[in-house]
Structure formats: structure tokens, C-alpha cells
Amino acid sequence: MFDPFDLTRIQVRAGGVPMGLAIPHHIGRHAHPKAKPETPSAPPRPSGIDYAQLIETAHAAELAREVNYAALTANTDQIPGQLDLLTGQEAQPK
């Protein structure tokens, strides 16, 4: 059993039987002694493209376009509910 906020004392149990306090294992080295350290690669060169400016320009162009309100409705020559003079039936949108 242990307190996760105080790891100075950890009691070990096996099968519900107390086995005593745990002894920390100290790591002497973190790598093989003959392992060579990795050399960091050169940072990538900047492309010179300003992506934020490209997005801003495209967004401003989209906002500048006018809304085509005529395209939002059906293109009919008749008023809804108006009777066709030739057939006597209600005009249907095209």
C-alpha cells in the first residue's frame, strides 16, 4: 500500500501478506556505455509561405462576394397559387 502523493514509504504485500517496505532501485546509467549519442538533425528551412495570410486573403475574398438572393428561390414565372389561364390549374414551379 502507498500514498500516491508520498512515495517515500511503500509497503509491499504479496497475496494479502505484508512483505515489508519497498527499497527503491537506483538506475546507474540510462544507456549502454558504447552507445553513441544521436546528433540532432538540422532544423528544416522555412518555406517562405505565409499560410495565415493566405487563409486571411481567401476569407476576406469570400466575405466580399455578394449574396445572390435570386438563386435562393425557385425560378418561376408564376406567383404561387396563381391559376394558369390555359389549363385552369394552379401553376407549378419549374
Write the DSSP string, the chain. Answer: --BTTBTT--EEEETTEEEEE--PPPP--SS-TTPPPPPPPPPPPP----HHHHHHHHHHHHHHSPP-GGGGS---SS-TTPBPTTT-SBPPP-
Please give the pLDDT value at position 76. Answer: 62
pTM: 0.33
Residues 58 and 50: beta-carbon distance below 8 Å: no
Ordered by start, the domain boundaries in the chain are: 11-91
Q: What is the pLDDT of residues 19-61, one digit of tens each?
A: 999 988 888 888 888 988 888 889 989 899 999 999 999 999 9
